[in-house]
Amino acid sequence: MSTTQLVVTFVGPDRPGLVNHLSQAIAAGGGNWLDARMVQLAGQFAGIVQVAVASAQADALTAALRALGGDALSLQVVQGQAHAPRSAARMLRLEVLGQDRPGIVRDISRTLAGREVNIAALDTEHMIGSFSGEAMFKARILLHLPPGLEPSDVRAALEALATELMVDFG
């Protein structure tokens, strides 16, 4: 039996039962909930879910999920691509911490894209420094490195950027 991967993204006003409502529709449509990332931001609840479903049921599940969307819930379903997992040896995890200012994500992502580095996961947080009371920026980034690029090369490029941005890479 062949399977199809669906990627479901949604955003809507935060309320109890939103994840339950979505998970019930996935289960009722024969889908298997795989990976997910969800977060509450500014009173909204946003998420992305990877679902596996028998290929014969993919269209019906897609229609059922899209029917959940409306004025209060923006929801999109796209078919994922099946491809081989990337080698764990070519992955790099970074942590960034520094004073917040506009453009940090832009500058980091531009530096990475210029070296053909793929961002596999990005988690950012805005917080207030415990000692200084200043706005701080924190990011955790999972990278997939292209063949021939060493982690030390990426670190050197980001450390040069960090001097300009006052950001530390750990």
* CATH code of the domain in which 25 resides: 3.30.70.260
The predicted model gives 117-126 an average pLDDT of 94
Q: And the tokens for 122?
A: 């990005």
Q: Is the pTM of this model over 0.85?
A: no
Q: In terms of residue numbers, what domain contains 51?
A: 3-79
pLDDT tens for each residue of 46-55: 999 999 999 9
Three-state secondary-structure class, residue 37: strand
User: Coil, strand or helix: which one is 108?
Assistant: helix
DSSP element (H, E) containing 153: helix 151-165
End-to-end CA distance of the chain: 44
| Residues 139, 105 contacting (CB under 8 angstroms) | yes
Q: How many domains does the chain have?
A: 2
Residues 103 and 152 in one domain: yes
Share the mean pLDDT of the chain. Answer: 90
What are the pLDDT digits (tens) for 66-92?
A: 999 888 999 999 999 876 565 555 899
| 23 and 59 inside one domain | yes
User: How does pLDDT run across 98-110, given as a tens digit for each residue?
Assistant: 888 899 999 999 9
Percent of the chain clearing pLDDT 90 (strictly above): 67
Q: Higher pLDDT residue, 31 or 69? A: 31
Alpha-helical regions (H) of 29-166 = 58-68, 104-113, 151-165
Residue of 46, 22, 41, 44 lying closest to 33 (CA atoms)? 22
Res. 121 pLDDT band, cuts 50 70 90: very high
Cβ neighbours around 51 below 10 Å, total: 29
- CA-nearest of 1, 4, 8, 53 to 29 is 53
State whether 95 and 160 are in the same domain.
Answer: yes
Are the CB atoms for 18 and 38 separated by under 8 Å?
no
- How many residues belong to the chain? 170
